[in-house]
Amino acid sequence: ELSQRMSERAVDVIKYLMKEGQMMKPGDVIDADLAELIATEFGHTVKRVAESDVEEGIFNVKDDEADLEPRAPVVTIMGHVDHGKTSLLDAIRHANVVSGEAGGITQHIGAYQVEQDGQKITFIDTPGHAAFTAMRARGAQATDIAILVVAADDSVMPQTIESISHAKAAEVPIIVAINKIDKPSADAQKVRTELLQHEVFVETMGGETLEVEVSAKTGQNLDKLLEAILLQAEVLDLKANPDRTAEGVVIEAELDRGRGSVATVLVQKGTLKPGQIVVAGDQWGRVRALVNDRGEHVKEAGPSMPVEVLGLNGTPSAGDRFAVVENEGKAREVSEYRQRLSRDKAAARQSGSRGSLEQMMSQLQDTGRKEFPLLIKGDVQGSVEAISAALDKLGTDEVRARIIHAGVGGITESDISLAEASNAAIIGFNVRANAQARKVSEQEGIEIRYYNIIYDLVDDVKSAMSGLLSPER
Ligand code: GDP
């Protein structure tokens, strides 16, 4: 390969190596230093580049402030099971199908767009925080706003609390939708009061979190919910440059019998067009067609628009980043690099190299951040509160624990994914992880620490933290 790149005959390179006392045959691996020596010897100028440079100029390309234009907000609906997430997504979609299209085909592609007052809103069509956090764990933040659905005839439940933690950890603003307001037993006020205890302060309680009472069943106030989303979006001042090569995130992907690989992507920057070559995760391909959420072929997809991409040569994973590249050679290079990266990561996971308290501490020291995220699960509310308070007290000006989620109950898969996305350690107090959570934590190399004495727990965190303090202390 080296001789090829230098446009020299392989036999000449091998001869040279022999002269230098190195017996080698074509296909043998040489290291970078030797390669540099040979290339120089053959009269070439060597420029060393890091392997990761293959992605330079493809992902996270910065834009000029002047090129930015307003874009639609991207919304995820979260909340406890049976509180009406799916119903709400369906109701919003059906109430806002452009007239004339009613009864037309609506396709599930993983995300859809509706219009309110002439402005577009994009909904991620997979309710719940699991998908949200799984994407975040892969480094993709797709969501701008989280709708927290709480049923007015029920109360704040474990997954409501989880959703709050997941949204807060991602620093995504929450809008509260108090659902099932049509029910005689609905008590919206009770929901508001309960939310206070979880530091969600809605407007009518003097806070800043927008709230709307809705019914997914009767359609009551759905327009108010959409207006609240647009209001929140205005505050966020969401912008993107549509006039550049496209970049974004994969929402879902599957292998379709008739159509081949079908990936739904959310364009976040630029404009995607058929014929372009894209890299998505460690897959790539030429865009054969773009299909919108109504099953129509489209000529382009701009910022915040979800589309199905046909033509990839494999199926990427939800949460993978995608980007347009200039040619096939580049696409191949990037996807090969990413495949190597995934293999290396899998190997690192095998050896369990992430998530232990000590490793986290040293990582934090590397990045200079003096704050470390913890996820705490305990058997009773009292002990969880006591632990949170004790850890809070440990904090100094220099270093402190940041509790991203504290809850009652066993450690679940959702806890693992939140910890993974936030680089947090998990602490279980008098609780264990369930089988599924144990499996995922082992796969992802996330360490879970179990305690049954608060003193031991606090002591461990304290000694880990003292390793973080600057030397003069
Ligand atoms: P999810 O698990 O959060 O996605 O909840 P679903 O959307 O599946 O709803 C759970 C149940 O609540 C279903 O039987 C719905 O018909 C019902 N439901 C959802 N929204 C409303 C509502 O606004 N009013 C009433 N009365 N029932 C609702």
Tell me the best of 76, 80, 81, 82 to mutate to test the pocket of ligand 1, counting ligand atoms within 8 Å of each CB and taking the most. Answer: 82
Please check the confidence at residue 105 and state whether its pLDDT lies above 60: no
Give the pLDDT band (50/70/90) at residue 465. confident
In this prediction the ipTM stands at: 0.99
Query: Rounded to whole angstroms, how far apart are CA atoms 356 and 347?
Result: 17
- Of all atoms in ligand 1, which is nearest to the CA of residue 127? 4
Residue 216 in contact with ligand 1 by CB distance below 6 A:
yes
What's the mean per-residue pLDDT of the chain?
86
- Answer whether 215 contacts ligand 1 (Cβ < 6 A): yes
Tokens encoding 428: 């279980």
Residue with CA closest to ligand 1 atom 17: 84
Ligand 1: nearest atom to the Cα of 179: 23
- Residue 42, both tokens: 């053959």
Tokens (6 digits) for 92: 């919003």
DSSP annotation of 51 = G
Average of pLDDT values for 337-360? 65
Q: Which of 211-225, 359-373, 412-426 has the lowest mean pLDDT?
A: 359-373
- Reported in sequence order, the residue ranges of 326-399 that DSSP labels E, i.e. its strands, are 371-378
83 lines ligand 1 (CB under 6 A): yes
Question: Interhelix angle for 129-137 vs 413-422, to 10°?
Answer: 40
The pLDDT-based confidence of 354 (bands split at 50, 70, 90) is: very low
CA of 84 to the centre of ligand 1 (A): 4
d(CA 473, CA 345): 36
List of E strands, 336-388: 371-378
84 lines ligand 1 (CB under 6 A): yes
Q: What is the pLDDT of residue 468?
A: 57
pLDDT band at 6 (very low <50, low <70, confident <90, very high): confident
pLDDT band at 338 (very low <50, low <70, confident <90, very high): confident
* pLDDT at 199 (0 to 100): 92
Q: What is the DSSP letter of 445?
A: T
What percent of the chain stands above pLDDT 70? 90
Place of tokens 């940041």: 402
Task: Of 7-21, 266-280, 319-333, 336-350, give the range with the top mean pLDDT.
Answer: 266-280
Cβ atoms within 10 Å of 117's Cβ, excluding its own? 8
Regarding the beta carbon of 217 and ligand 1, being less than 6 Å apart is answered: yes
355 Cβ below 6 A of ligand 1: no
